[in-house]
Chain A
Amino acid sequence: MSLIWLRVAVLLYGIAALAVLPAALYNRQRWRHLAVPVALAGAFFHFVSITETFYAAHRALPVDTHETLSLLGLLLAVAFLLLAAKYRTMAFGIFLLPVTVLLTLVPAFHAGRETIAYPFAGPVWIFLHVALLLAAYAALLISLLASVLYFVQERNLKSKHASSGPASTMKLPPLETIDQIALKSLLFGLPCMTAGLFIGSVVALETVGPRFFADPKVLLSLAMWVAYMLMIFIRRHSGLRGRRAVYLSSFAFLFVLTVWAANQFSVVHRFKAP
């Protein structure tokens, strides 16, 4: 049953991802009135699906990559809805909704093969470790998108043309607001990432021992945290905005993708079930 709800969610996200295009690019209110409720309904069914899966399995943790991706997708959909409600902008949906569709499409139609076992520690700590890190990744993605949108809006204003193509007709929030979104999402992601890594490290230290910290995945994760801190420091200290902010955010995001990909090479951060 949970799979049906997930498929319904994918369908609704797909419709919302299409409706958001005219709403954001051409500021069409009718499409906005379609995109937001449909995305909200998608998030609802997605939540129902995840809850039902966890409830049926008597656990509160994603046990494979697909479930983890699905959880990240839900976080991104919720982030889009929050941004639309608070800042009345659809622009983030152009990127967030298709990513959400992709993240939920695979789990909805293809069951995950790799099953993660959690042989140690209480499930609450592991859940917090996973959920906090996913929230940090989502925050970083939103910060990257905000930096790109800042750049687009800055180019529009500098080009001095009222209407020449979708990029200039796109209804974007003011530059200062976009900057605030970028910074706030980074500041939200920082404690999530710090706490997520800290919990993971303490749990690993207690169960695997110091050899855990020699693993490339773990080392990269710590480097990612340093890069994250550095990015916030540079942005706050020098007021970095525009093109250079896009470069910096892209660099940090690439780092996150590398850390994610490093799961494939990690020996100790795999937790495969026998």
Chain B
Amino acid sequence: MSDAENKSGTLLLVGVNHNTAPIEVRERLAISTARLADATRTLAHQPGIREAMILSTCNRVEFLIDHEASGDTGREAENSLILPRFVHEYFAVAPSSLAPHLYEFREREAIRHLFRVASSLDSMVVGEPQILGQVKQSWTVAREVGAVKSTLDPLLQRAFSVAKRVRSETQIGSSSVSIASVAVDLARKIFGSLSGKTVLIVGAGKMSDLAARHLIQQGARTLLVSNRTEQRAEKVAAALRTPEITTGVIPFAQLHAEAHRADIIVTSTGAGQIFTPQQAREILHRRRNRPMFFIDIAVPRDVDPAVNEVEGCFVYDIDDLQQVAAQNQASRSKEAEAAESIVSLEVERYQQRRSARPAVEAIKQLQLSAEALRQQELARTVARLAAEPLSEGQQAAVDALTKSLTAKLLHPQLATLRELNSGTEPEE
């Protein structure tokens, strides 16, 4: 797109994100959910702005506006100052301190950026699913305050469809990239739903506590804790107990005798190999060979790696989890290439539809006027013939005749409009 085209555009997106601005800058612009409606309303009421939406997440703050277009260079310069002035006034941030971190996209590039953001291609963790919900939330707020209308509303709805298409046609969000979610994914591959599963925490460290909370969030309902210091185990169990979660303490001396009750064992003692292949076989035998998942986040490792060779036992240590997360990240990057192609295609389509809109409106208007004129003339003729009214068949014939005449008279104009719209020269 040429500069000239850029300048005549009405869509403008300005923002900062994790790539362009450090957290110190982003936090000064961050808008809480409670203040989002007020900020959006204020922005939408700025002179020259027709529609507006604000997206504020931990990694980005973006302002999307549809402003009045003008061929006048002086007016355009004025328009380009709308957002910096709003930021300065609303956040009390000096424009000069923000300028090096801001990015600005107009028209086609603004559409592309919005589609990329909604599809999670511009996220810090590419493919993460939260961003789409955040964009939807911003859109809902903007709709509620009447800040999105005929331009931004269809654009945002298109962005959601594009994001959905990217999710369904690529594998961009199919694999986990954080260690905790990798562990949960693996547990799901073994057990399916985690609901009703029992988790045993061995060693009452912060990491295992975090892992247990993550597994509980995913549906595990029984939590056992075993620690050398029993009081500490009881404290952890009490902290995790809720009306829905049953917790219990296993004395460390009885760990091997009671471990068969657990489907998932999270170990973090760092006390050396407390689970050997022989012990794992005995535990499995007591479980009638139902699979077990060992998540060993201790260094040195608590579970002998050879336990993974025991049929029915799955052992993942911290390096394994990190390795899977890294592989998933790499696979996401590969999928992101396919997603970028989808976004490019969708931007083209949307842009075409946008530019076709005035012609479509003109065609619709022309057809409506012609039809109104036809109805008016028909009514007049019927009134004139009131003394000798036409039969139903004659009325239908006259109706068909006038319709046909109108269509034939309009055809050259409509064809010209359609051809002009599609970019080809009208036929002579």
Give me the interface of A with B, judged by CB distance under 8 Å. Answer: 27, 29-30, 153-154, 157-158, 160-163, 173-177, 238-244
Contact = CB atoms under 8 A, between A and B. Distances in A.
A161 B186 CA distance: 11
A165 B291 CA distance: 25
A239 B327 contact: no
A239 B311 contact: no
B289 interface: yes
A176 B194 CA distance: 11
Interface stretch (B83-91, B316-324, B405-413, B415-423): B316-324
Given A29-B168, A175-B191, A176-B190, A242 B328 contact: no
Contact of B289 (A29, A160, A176, A241): A241
Given A160-B323, A163-B327, 17 more contacts: A27-B171, A29-B168, A157-B190, A158-B309, A161-B324, A162-B175, A162-B328, A163-B331, A173-B192, A174-B190, A175-B190, A176-B191, A176-B291, A238-B288, A239-B289, A241-B291, A244-B311
B323 A242 contact: no
B314 A158 contact: yes
Contacts of B190: 157, 174-176
A29 B169 contact: yes
Nearest to B185: A162
Nearest to B263: A176
Interface string B309-340: 10110101000100110011001000000000
B324 A177 contact: no
A30 B169 contact: yes
A1 B179 CA distance: 60
A174 B188 contact: yes
Given A160-B323, A241-B289, A177 B192 contact: yes
A36 B189 CA distance: 23
Given A162-B331, A163-B331, A238-B289, A157 B314 contact: yes
A174 to B, nearest CB: 4
B323 A176 contact: no
Interface string B170-203: 0100110000000000101111100000000000
Interface string B145-180: 000000000000000000000001101001100000
A239 B320 CA distance: 28
A237 to B, nearest CB: 8
A174 B328 contact: no
Contacts of B331: 162-163
B311 A241 contact: yes
Nearest to A235: B289
In this complex, the member of A175, A242, A244 whose beta carbon has the largest number of chain B beta carbons within 10 angstroms is A175
A157 B316 CA distance: 9
Nearest to A174: B192
Contacts, number: 57
B311 A243 contact: yes
Contacts of B320: 160
Nearest to A241: B289
Nearest to A158: B308
Nearest to A33: B168
A162 B175 CA distance: 9
B290 interface: yes
A188 B188 CA distance: 26
A154 B190 CA distance: 8
Nearest to A240: B289
Contacts of A242: 311-312
7 contacts: A157-B314, A160-B320, A162-B328, A173-B192, A174-B188, A175-B189, A239-B288
B186 to A, nearest CB: 7
Contacts of B291: 175-176, 241
Given A176-B291, A241-B289, A160 B316 contact: yes
Interface in B287-316: 287-291, 308-309, 311-312, 314, 316
Nearest to B329: A162
A241 B309 CA distance: 14
A36 B169 CA distance: 17
Nearest to B192: A174
Contact of B324 (A158, A162, A174): A162
A163 B186 CA distance: 14
Contacts of B188: 174
A27 B174 CA distance: 10
Contacts of A238: 288-289
5 closest cross-chain pairs (CB), A and B:
A239-B289, A162-B327, A174-B192, A239-B288, A242-B311
Nearest to B284: A239
B263 to A, nearest CB: 9
A159 B254 CA distance: 31
Nearest to A172: B189
A174 B288 contact: no
Contact of B191 (A160, A162, A174, A240): A174
Given A160-B316, A162-B324, A239 B290 contact: yes
Contacts of B189: 153, 157, 174-175
A154 B292 CA distance: 12
A242 B190 CA distance: 13
Nearest to B190: A175
A176 B291 CA distance: 8
Nearest to B325: A162
A52 B289 CA distance: 49
A152 to B, nearest CB: 12
Nearest to B287: A239
Nearest to B186: A157
B164 to A, nearest CB: 12
Contacts of A29: 168-169
Contacts of A161: 324, 327
B109 to A, nearest CB: 29
Nearest to A29: B168
Interface in B29-75: none
Contacts of A162: 175, 324, 327-328, 331
Contacts of B191: 174-176
Given A27-B174, A163-B331, A175-B291, A241 B192 contact: no
A27 B311 CA distance: 27
Contacts of B289: 238-241
Contacts of B290: 239
